[in-house]
Amino acid sequence: WRGLSRMDRRGDLWEVYHELRDRTDELGEIVTKECGKEISEGRADVVEAAHMVEWAAGDARHPSGEIVPSEIAEKDASMRRKPRGVTGCITPWNFPIAIPYWHMAVALVEGNTVVFKPAEQTPWCAQIIAEMFDDAGVPDGVFNLVQGYGDVGAALVDDDRVRTVLFTGSAEVGQQIAAETAADSSKRAACEMGGKNAVVITEEADLDIAVHAAVMSSFKTTGQRCVSSERLVVHTDVYEEFRDRFVEVAGRVAVGDPLEEDTFMGPLIGTDHVEKVTSYNDLARTEGVDVLVDRTDLPDEEIPDGHEDGHWVGPFVYEADPGEPLRCTHEEVFGPHVALLEYSGDIEEAVEIHNDVDYGLAGAVVSEDYRQINYYRDHAELGLAYGNL
């Protein structure tokens, strides 16, 4: 596989790209059935996968490598990309089609082989991915699927033949993988992990934009995204109006059958996760926050007929003091659990609140003042920043 040209390797990926595009509606429904996110998000998952495969296959046409002048006139220095070898890809259940292709499309184009370990909650989507590679004619042994639980992922990380580990999932597991691979000089790991993400809403914010952005970020995928916002840091000048509008929407967000087009939030992924989210809602009450919306236990009339045993949890919204070291405002919940944190100072104070967690994944700022957005961009401690420029 590594002996082929990048152009030859990309040919199989184009077949996968076209199958993803042709089967978007079908596969989007399977995503929704298996992981529970509402149907428009199920389809978007497949579209995102297609875009990633298209990008990786298209990038194969771009020149790769460089020759640069050396400090010695008679010599040149060259940089050439070479495959690392076997790549272990460990992916989560919340984007069961898109995230595997984030990992695998580039790895394959660059000449690596792949061993893919999907989340145990979404084996059906993983099987479809495997069938697509087989249909495209990827040679035996280049792509490999192993289903199972955490012990399978651990075996993959430990195996001496695996040179690179690509992981998306919890901070706890990712930190273990990073530590284990760091102990072996031949291995490399890239880990995208959890977040206690915040949206900063300044006194210069357009509240139509701010409320919409906060609702989408907090409650889409039922809050089960590593980039979902669980903290809304709002300036006192706009706090009351924002709070009232956000709370009004959170109180009526449509929770229901994810296959219905008018559903906004589907169920959580499983019983264990219901227990986790519920426990954090209970913890927030214990820590003395002011609860504004509590739809933890949905009434019978909001639960779809025939799905009474589903994993249903609605939005939970509360006010808290940003200066208090509360667990509920500092630990990732991975559900529709949202804290409103009021501040009265300048953008510097807002960013201090934003940075006061042990995570640095993603965040956003809403403001009509580009200087505030630029300050956030330069000082927020995160890897992925959004601003309404």
Mean pLDDT of the chain: 96
| 69, pLDDT greater than 90 | no
**Nearest Cα to Cα of residue 221 among 260, 169, 253, 267:** 267
Using CA atoms, how far apart are residues 163 and 271, in angstroms rounded to an integer?
35
Catalytic residue among 38, 192, 203, 342: 192
Catalytic site residue 15?
no
Catalytic residue among 35, 191, 226, 328: 226
pLDDT band at residue 355 under the 50/70/90 scheme: very high
Taking residues 327-343, what's their average pLDDT?
Answer: 98
Taking residues 281-293, what's their average pLDDT?
Answer: 98
pLDDT for res 67: 84
The C-alpha R_g of the chain, in whole angstroms, comes to 23
Using CA atoms, how far apart are residues 138 and 12, in angstroms rounded to an integer?
6
Q: What is the DSSP string of 334-375?
A: -SSEEEEEEE-S-HHHHHHHHH-SS--SEEEEE-S-HHHHHH
pLDDT band at residue 64 under the 50/70/90 scheme: confident
pLDDT for res 74: 87
Half-sphere exposure (Cβ direction) of 255: Cα atoms closer than 13 Å: 28
- What percentage of the chain reaches a pLDDT higher than 70? 100
Taking residues 41-47, what's their average pLDDT?
Answer: 98
Using CA atoms, how far apart are residues 290 and 313, in angstroms rounded to an integer?
19
pLDDT tens profile 203-221:
999 999 999 999 999 999 9
pLDDT for res 277: 98
Taking residues 346-351, what's their average pLDDT?
Answer: 98
pLDDT band at residue 156 under the 50/70/90 scheme: very high
Q: What are phi and psi of 307, to 5 degrees?
A: -125, 30
pLDDT band at residue 11 under the 50/70/90 scheme: very high
Contact 365, 199 (CB under 8 A): yes
Catalytic site residue 35?
no
pLDDT for res 66: 83
**Nearest Cα to Cα of residue 168 among 85, 227, 230:** 227
Using CA atoms, how far apart are residues 130 and 116, in angstroms rounded to an integer?
9
